[in-house]
Amino acid sequence: MKMRIVVIGANAAGAKAASKAKRINPYADITLIDRGEFISYGACGIPYFVSDTVANIEELMSTPVGVVRDANFFKKVKGINVITGTEAVGIDRQTKTVHLKQKKDSGLFSVEYDKLVLATGSSPALPPLKNMELANILTVKSIEDAELLKQKAVSGHAACIVGGGLIGLETAEALKQKGMKVTVIEMRNQLLPGVLDAEMASLVEKHCRMNGVDVMTSSRVTGFGGTGAVASVMVDQCEIPADLVVLAPGVTPNTGLAKEAGLEIGATGAIAVDTCMRTSDPHIYACGDCCETSHLITGRKVYVPLGSTANKQGRVAGINAAGGEASFAGILGTSIVKIFNINAGKTGLTESEARACGYDIETILSPAPDKAHFFPGAKPIALKLVAERPTGRILGLQAVGEGAVDKRVDAVAAAITFGATAEQLAHLDLAYAPPYSAAMDNLIVAADILKNKLAGHAKGISPMDVKKKMDDGDDFLLLDVRSPAEHAEVSIEGAKLIPLGMLREKLDSLPKDKEIVTFCKISLRGYEAQKILDAAGFKDIKFMDGGIMTWPYKLRSDTSLK
Amino acid sequence: MKMRIVVIGANAAGAKAASKAKRINPYADITLIDRGEFISYGACGIPYFVSDTVANIEELMSTPVGVVRDANFFKKVKGINVITGTEAVGIDRQTKTVHLKQKKDSGLFSVEYDKLVLATGSSPALPPLKNMELANILTVKSIEDAELLKQKAVSGHAACIVGGGLIGLETAEALKQKGMKVTVIEMRNQLLPGVLDAEMASLVEKHCRMNGVDVMTSSRVTGFGGTGAVASVMVDQCEIPADLVVLAPGVTPNTGLAKEAGLEIGATGAIAVDTCMRTSDPHIYACGDCCETSHLITGRKVYVPLGSTANKQGRVAGINAAGGEASFAGILGTSIVKIFNINAGKTGLTESEARACGYDIETILSPAPDKAHFFPGAKPIALKLVAERPTGRILGLQAVGEGAVDKRVDAVAAAITFGATAEQLAHLDLAYAPPYSAAMDNLIVAADILKNKLAGHAKGISPMDVKKKMDDGDDFLLLDVRSPAEHAEVSIEGAKLIPLGMLREKLDSLPKDKEIVTFCKISLRGYEAQKILDAAGFKDIKFMDGGIMTWPYKLRSDTSLK
């Protein structure tokens, strides 16, 4: 008898699992079931459809050559049976049967399986909020959401985005581009929590404000006002007018079916799987947004649902379900987002994640142009590397800026998969020509500074710690070693100016025993200044990580990330 | 007594070595000597100065904040003594003395060293050619070259570039942009030998021609015609008119000084160094274009002079010369070039390099858009991966196309530094969002196909082998499984069309025992077709690697790389 493989959920992970299973075992009978009418679509593209960047919703459901991936496509091209508009309501593991219910006519029926793949996805993690049933309170998940959102995005009207994560920010940009007045409301004290550390996130927040998006952090939404349709959002003590609300909180795995069937659920709340994507039942696999995975740096179980991971896991689940052999080791939590003109991404652990995991760490902030500085179109990007102190192993990278952030994130993602140290990162043979990078790529420079810090040659202090010293009224000297022209354009209040080229001659004008914090535009001259002062016998010299370019606070003239 | 460190050569490697040595040992007395008047400039930027992409020559000699890196800068900022216009004419290793000659007044003098760093660079490897002394025959090496080249780049005049390597092509584009009629003459049978395999190079050649640059491969320049100034280039049997000739051959290391001093020269012809960048004399280091290094894949000694490597080596030489400890393991031969609108790069070994080294290999050609296919501005790139067959270890990547080639090259460079296999490459957690890549990044897709080929699931045949079969009149069927619309737009002469969606229904129309080669636009549908036909009992089915997009030969309508 033909092997019967049933896949529940026909988006990224499920569609991939079904297709791969059929390729591995062309004689298998494969059924792909989805509760929606649309399958195998690019949900990640929804904000771009809303902003008119993508003109036609069909583009999100098509192959690169323009064929719509519908039931007919899967039947004709892949040899897979697709049942849409049908919900799986129960799994009988004894008889290996899935019970199904057609939404429209409520007819109940069932399919038998030899192997079952769960790709049930995730849902927005909505807390109970007052008046959530009002019209024009939407999420960003399905094709139906996309069409409704586009229809409601009326120029001049006010939109509130609840949640300042990846999807929240993409949607904020989309609605702003449609001419709406946009406010992002985030519960945590920064945008992109879990993706960026606070000082990196502040660069993103600055950029959002520059582009006319209002940002409220440390703000909790308690409910909505209005009759029939939403008219306002209640945030802590105040009420913000809103014609449209987009709920973009985190997501939660759809585990109902798995739980009822008695499958093991992991500590993260998602379906537990082994590296073969097998659940606690050897005949049932899970992949994509419904299951957990391992973090390659910490070894811990994590829940980081992403389309890229879903595809890889779907492939592995499909191969194993069809009788082949494949495994998926885990992820690095790599993620990236474009917001107006800047790109913000990370791979591995942020500083706060690393500290929370108990690592003894060193960090470095390093801003620099993404191409040879003389090449037109070179744009700044700020890198933050996090390394384990005793070993020098790189734990993570964050990158924010107008330039090519994705390239540096991908290179570091590849390197830390293999446990790269700062030393090894500094010697990567990356592709160099002026249109692509400086002769010393940003990553190489950042890794070199990190090496200097790990070895104790460079003594850095973070912008936040400098700000704290200022606020605490500490007795220290903030020394700007940039040129007078740079200093005149923008500077930090209270800093003393001695251009680096004059420093060796003006040593006598500085107090030998006082704490001095040097800085420049990006930190390289700041570090040179530290070395000059160290060599001249000064006792307590540090340079400020990232220089004025990553100073997240007020400047005398606010043009630092231009 | 202060430690005396002398560095000969004040460009990338030398300037870096001197600066780093001073930071490591601030009490050292450091002298940086160069025969030119200009130091520490970005020679890689010269083509962009010629094309007016970079407006001002000073930009190539400045720091990112616009300070010119001249002798005064090195003195004031770095605390380094610079002597320009001065040639090192001999090294007395017994007395640790370098003999110097000032070019202008021929005065001879000498400096003593405790540690010496040689960063003497490279020179164009010019074969003896007839009438090479004619005016307007230039090279692309120094600031003086740059200014002369820009001055001679007269719109409407004819320029011949001798050498179709990285610098040759960059210069070809620059001169074309200045309105010249440009011909590139390359001795080998393809452009970018050593960087790309022939079929990848043919994509570059096509693009050059599309942009109006004439390309002559397998063409040997024997000399030049003209009186006073060059008027023509003799190529094999013919004579090509030329008002300007740019010699852009490979480069050869400047080893004269080292040889005379009795330092060991490696088999590559460059100065032999260990991983500390130490020469055969423990007091003398070498770095940059004058020395050889190790290839991280093959372990063999290689000579691949590049600005990025020079900086890393300079840092290591500087640290060690100053009494610190650092090492440089080697390179991957990573390189990249922008030519008009396409980017072409590689890391690791090409197929021909891998074969020459005796590896048993598998390869895959995979073209795909560089971003989500629905995202505006997504551009195609073609990837070629080379892997070692028994282990699956990735040996190299080549990438050509309008899209983000550099990102994929850097990610693979990082991965193969650590011996990544196709399996590991396929599971890299790369940064995904629609503006940056497809959910399955090109690299992931390419690695997956490679895995299928290594496992014997996918049977690929290269475009060259298909062409050979056609030319040999082999009895096989070339099966185009794209849509009728795609087929109508552009196709390969003689191919039979059965769209993939119809294939399962039309199996009877195909001969079961004949060799069939399937193809589509990029090869994914071609592979699906192979799997369908295999499953239906067809005996000899292969898919054509890379599909019609990497077919380097004539098409019915030549728009394949649009």
Q: Could you check whether B341-454 and B460-550 share the same CATH topology?
A: no
pLDDT of A82 higher than 50: yes
Q: Which CATH superfamily is domain A460-550 in?
A: Rhodanese-like domain (3.40.250.10)
Q: What average pLDDT does range A89-111 have in this prediction?
A: 90
Q: What is the pLDDT of residue B538?
A: 94
Position B560 scores a pLDDT of: 44
Averaged over B98-120, what is the pLDDT?
91
Alpha-carbon distances, residue A340 vs A127, A553, B188 (angstroms) = 29, 21, 46
Which of A19, A335, A410 to substitute to test the interface with B, most B CBs within 10 Å? Answer: A410
Other CB atoms within a 10 A radius of the CB of residue B1 amount to 5
In 3D, which of A363, A368, A338 has the Cα closest to residue A348?
A363
3-state secondary structure of B525: helix
In single-letter form, the type of residue at position B460 comes to G
Task: Find the helix or strand (DSSP H, E) in which A222 lies.
Answer: strand A221-225
- For residue B168, the chain A residues in CB contact (below 8 A) are none
Q: How confident is the model at residue A58 (pLDDT cuts 50, 70, 90)?
A: confident
What is the CATH code of the structural domain delimited by B4-121+252-321?
3.50.50.60
Question: In which band, very low, low, confident or very high, does the pLDDT at A458 lie, cut at 50, 70 and 90?
Answer: confident
> Under an 8 A CB cutoff, do A436 and B483 touch?
no
Contact by Cβ (8 Å): B117, B240? no
Q: Give per-residue burial for B384-398: e unless 16+ CB within 10 Å, then b.
A: bbbbbeeebbbbbbb
Up-side HSE of residue A147: CA atoms within 13 Å toward CB? 8
Query: What are the pLDDT digits (tens) for B18-60?
Result: 999 999 999 999 999 999 888 888 888 999 999 999 988 888 8
Least confident window among B89-93, B104-108, B266-270, B461-465: B104-108
Check whether B106 has a pLDDT greater than 80.
no
Give me the pLDDT at residue B42, please. Answer: 81
User: B431 and A307: CB-CB below 8 Å?
Assistant: no
pLDDT of residue B199: 92
Residue A560's pLDDT is what? 44
Residues of B marked as catalytic:
44
Give the H or E element holding residue B386.
Answer: strand B380-388
- Nearest Cα of chain B lies from the Cα of A428 at a distance, in angstroms, of 6
Torsion sign over Cα B462, B464, B467, B473: negative
pLDDT value of position B540? 94
3-state secondary structure of A153: coil
Residue A499 has pLDDT above 50, yes or no: yes
Across the interface, which of B62, B335, B500 has its CB nearest the CB of A77?
B500
d(CA A261, CA A271): 12
The pLDDT mean for chain A works out to 94
Q: What is the average pLDDT across A146-171?
A: 95
Percent share of chain B, pLDDT over 90: 83
Q: CB A435 to CB B60 under 8 A?
A: no
CA B219 from chain centre, in angstroms, equals 21
CB neighbours of A478 closer than 8 A, spacing ≥ 6?
A466, A470, A492, A494, A495, A496, A516, A517, A519, A544
Contact between chains at B427 and A373 (C-beta distance less than 8 A): no
- Does the CA dihedral B287-B126-B36-A525 come out positive or negative? negative
Residues of B in contact with A309 (CB under 8 A): 429
Which candidate in B410, B538, B560 is best for mutational testing of the A interface (most A CBs within 10 A)?
B410
Query: Residue B274: which residues within 8 A CB-CB, separation 6 or more?
Result: none
B141-155 average pLDDT score: 91
pLDDT, residue A541, reads: 94
Q: How does DSSP classify residue B295?
A: B
Closest CA to B440 of A309, A316, A166, A24: A309
Smallest Cβ–Cβ distance between B53 and the set A23, A376, A528 belongs to A376
Task: Please tell me which of the candidates B166, B308, B436 has its beta carbon nearest to residue A430.
Answer: B308
Vertex A5: Cα angle to A72 and A34 (nearest 5): 50
pLDDT for B141 equals 86
Residue A355 reports pLDDT greater than 90:
yes
pLDDT at residue B55 in the model: 87
User: What local confidence, expressed as pLDDT, does residue A561 receive?
Assistant: 40
> Does pLDDT of B352 surpass 70?
yes
- Angstroms from A93 CA to nearest CA on chain B: 31
User: What is the band of B561 on the pLDDT scale with cuts at 50, 70, 90?
Assistant: very low
Does residue A559 register a pLDDT over 90?
no
Single-letter code of the amino acid located at A541: I
For residue B345, give the nearest of A79, A338, A431 by CB distance.
A431
Contacts of A1 (CB under 8 A, 6+ apart): none
The confidence band for A55, taking pLDDT boundaries of 50, 70 and 90, is confident
Q: Alpha carbon of A225 to those of A182, A243, A340, A559, B415: distances in Å?
A: 17, 10, 30, 38, 53
User: Comparing A38-47, A376-385, A444-453, A512-521, which segment has the lowest mean pLDDT?
Assistant: A38-47
* CA dihedral for A300, A305, A307, A310, sign (positive or negative): positive
Round to whole Å and give the CA distance between B85 and B102. 6
Q: State pLDDT tens for residues B176-205.
A: 999 999 999 999 999 999 999 999 999 999
Specify the amino acid at residue A238.
C
Task: In whole angstroms, give the CA distance from residue A201 to residue A211.
Answer: 15
Q: Which SS3 state, helix, strand or coil, does residue B209 take?
A: helix
Strands (DSSP E) contained in A113-185 are: 115-118, 122-124, 137-139, 158-162, 181-185
Q: Which of B70, B385, B429 to mutate to test the interface with A (most CBs of A within 10 A)?
A: B429
The identity of residue A344, as a single letter, is: A
Q: Among candidates B347, B364, B346, which has minimal Cα distance to B550?
A: B364
Task: Answer yes or no: do A376 and B440 touch at CB < 8 A.
Answer: no
Which candidate, A274, A267, A289, A250, places its Cα nearest to that of A120?
A289
Q: What is the pLDDT of residues A105-130, one digit of tens each?
A: 677 899 999 999 999 999 998 888 99
pLDDT of residue B98: 97
- A and B: number of Cβ contacts within 8 A: 291
Torsion-angle region of residue A123: left (phi > 0), alpha (psi -120 to 50) or beta?
beta
Q: Is A208 a catalytic residue?
A: no
Q: How far is CA A347 from the centre of its chain?
A: 8
| CA distances from residue A251 to A167, A189, A220, A270, B436 in whole angstroms, order as listed | 11, 19, 17, 11, 22
- CB atoms near residue A355 (< 10 Å): 15
**CATH 3.50.50.60 for domain B137-249:** yes
* Contact across the interface for B436 and A338, Cβ inside 8 Å: yes
Q: Break chain B into its structural domains and give their ranges.
A: 4-121+252-321, 137-249, 341-454, 460-550
The DSSP element (H or E) to which B42 belongs, if any, is none
Give residue B419's pLDDT: 98
The one-letter amino acid code at B238 reads C
Q: Which of A76, A296, A308 sits opposite B430 (nearest CB)?
A: A308
- How many other CB atoms are found less than 10 A from the CB of residue B211? 16
Q: Do B528 and A78 touch (CB under 8 A)?
A: yes
Task: Check residues B66 and B459 and name the one with the higher pLDDT.
Answer: B459
What was the pLDDT predicted at B339? 97
pLDDT score for A555: 86
Contact assignment for A532 to B432 by CB distance below 8 Å: no
State residue B110's pLDDT score: 95
- Shortest CA gap B55–chain A (Å): 9
Question: Which run of H or E residues covers position B120?
Answer: none
What is the nearest CA distance from A16 to chain B, expressed in angstroms? 11
Q: 3.30.365.10, 3.40.50.150, 3.40.50.300, 3.50.50.60: which CATH number matches A341-454? A: 3.50.50.60
> What pLDDT does A189 receive?
96
pLDDT at B559: 47
The alpha carbon of residue B364 is apart from the nearest alpha carbon of chain A, in Å, by: 19
pLDDT band at A65 (very low <50, low <70, confident <90, very high): confident
User: What is the C-alpha separation between B222 and B464, in angstroms, rounded?
Assistant: 31
Tell me if B377 sits within 8 A of B413, measured CB to CB. Answer: no
Q: Concatenated DSSP letters for A292-359?
A: -EEBTTT--EE----HHHHHHHHHHHHHHHTT-------B---EEEEETTEEEEEEE--HHHHHHTT-
